[in-house]
Structure 1
């Protein structure tokens, strides 16, 4: 029996009022009690929010106070080396979940080997000024304004994704613009006054590479690594409808897939774990953000998978087809997707052989080592003018 029902019975035994009156009064008391409980809960939430805000402000003040010390330390440690700062849009707390962070880490490794002193600034530190020689902004979904108080610095934008978010005015803020599409680079070269270079996405060939021993244990799994983005990504839904042996790593899929949610293995997988997955699977599915496809930006999942000898079923643009005319299986609709699946199931060895042929090309032209070398050459060319 609930507290209020017990109280009602006790009160009725000694208070000389009608049952209806008593019940009404008790209901009012119960409502008031719930209202006060709700107010107390809100106060507790607000108190917790205030504590979190206070902690955040304290951390930010400490971070900004540390910028000056950090700048002096960088100047001391760099000595005669060029100081390069990679502006990575990933937030500190969630950096491990951002592909941009893995991208920045790989690029830093190769720039360091070429004699640069390289720093990665996560999004919270984008306003930190360390008197850099080169600031390289990985432009995805976050805007950065070059700090022209540093007059010696070269500011480079490398637009690797979300090109529809970048205006011509933003490109013009930089000294050098690099974009992840040859087609779009040619278009921008005709519109901008700043130098524009095509610089496609790439892969870390020290992490993603063929492994002959692993080839012996390839399974039958179809893979998809990526979040649902809150939209019905067609290749995933078609694979689920076809009851293919699909395994998914990404957030937002369980609600969307319903009875097929068992395909979801986890909401996230670390970048370092992906190569082993690629070497154990039969094929991976791939698609692009619509604007990347429209502007002909090839995502790095293509290069990662092919470097591991994994066939890819992907949507298509002219740029991608020019790079890999036969090594990737292309679809633009459901029927073509089914044809790609048939090729995987009926002619796998033939498909796989074409994939394996791409390793020398990827290592030479689509690796972070190649991109670091191109970036250094671009800077040297600009400095010689």
Structure 2
């Protein structure tokens, strides 16, 4: 088939999809292909977002690192959404191009923001505002989220005392090492910790995505921290949304905007004595009913379904303007 006839066919097919408000999406992520990428957080994020978009009647494909830019079979994707992680993205022809910066903001320069995206989002109000002013391109704050399919304050619980889920990232993670220093009954899931803590603290080198919600629900406290650049730039971690949506009480480092989102469900400490108090004293934390109320609020306002509605609205508006 000639390229002209192929283009006509694709334009007609797109008009039909637009009339039905059922677009063809591809979500592109930085995780590598195969087992090496299966444990990446980008994979779970993309899966949860795709499920939410499909609930809105959308067709969604997820492409990992190295996948061709164009749709399989020479067809057109209606919307190309890049979840900006480690890999630098490129806009695609014949599509609405969206960039959502969810991590590693130190890698994103002004040139990338000004590359001709139809929509640019960032998981930080602070960073979005600063880059909008600096580049003249409007960057919309769109925070990370929790899956209402996987997380809730009610359901099976896997008992833990002080829980941390994550790798070392090849660096010392202060919240974990401080918990060890104060003698916490710490239980770690993640690889690489043998270099930093005694083996008795390490439960396993991995906790499956499916097992995380029950672990959060059953933990007396959940520990969290951020990459330094994300902390400085106001990128609130996905773990906080998921843990609070599970009704967990979280001890974390401080990020701008965190208190307004999560209130007393997420607390910070300035000294080891304060950490001891937060880990030991249940009376310093919200009660069961308050925790469930906050979990429901997070899942109402900060679910992937809420994020999918914003993305679909903006994608449809882009086609209305063409």
Q: TM-score, normalised by structure 2?
A: 0.87
Q: Deviations over 1:37-90 (max 9, x none)?
A: xxxxxxxxxxxxxxxxxxxxxxxxxxxxxxxxxxx9xx9899733111100111
| Structure with greater contact order relative to length (CA < 8 Å, sep ≥ 6) | 2
The match for 2:168 is 228
Q: Tell me, which stretches of 5 or more residues in structure 2 are unaligned?
A: 1-8
The match for 1:202 is 145
Q: Deviations over 1:181-218 (max 9, x none)?
A: 11221212212333321110001011111216x47xx7
Distance 1:85 1:270, change over 3 A: same
Q: Secondary structure of 1:357's match?
A: helix
Q: Within the alignment, does 1:86 sit opposite 2:21 as a pair?
A: no
Identify which of 232, 237, 254 aligns with 1:299: 237
Alpha-carbon distance in 1 for matches of 2:271, 2:16? 56
Alpha-carbon distance in 2 for matches of 1:252, 1:375? 37
Q: Is the 8 A contact 1:235 1:286 kept in 2?
A: yes
Residue 139 of structure 1 deviates from its aligned partner by: 0.2
Residue 349 of structure 1 deviates from its aligned partner by: 6.1
Q: Secondary structure of 1:221's match?
A: strand
Residue 276 of structure 1 deviates from its aligned partner by: 1.4
* Larger Rg belongs to: 1
Please identify which structure carries the higher helix content: 1
Distance 1:341 1:321, change over 3 A: same
Alpha-carbon distance in 2 for matches of 1:366, 1:145? 28
The match for 2:64 is 122
Q: Within the alignment, does 1:315 sit opposite 2:253 as a pair?
A: yes
**1:60-71 correspondence to structure 2 within 5 Å:** none
Distance 1:348 1:331, change over 3 A: closer
The match for 1:273 is 211
Q: TM-score, normalised by structure 1?
A: 0.73
The match for 2:185 is 245
Alpha-carbon distance in 2 for matches of 1:118, 1:158? 16
Identify which of 256, 277, 284 aligns with 2:196: 256
Q: Deviations over 1:159-181 (max 9, x none)?
A: 00011110011011122110001
Number of residue pairs the alignment of both structures matches: 303
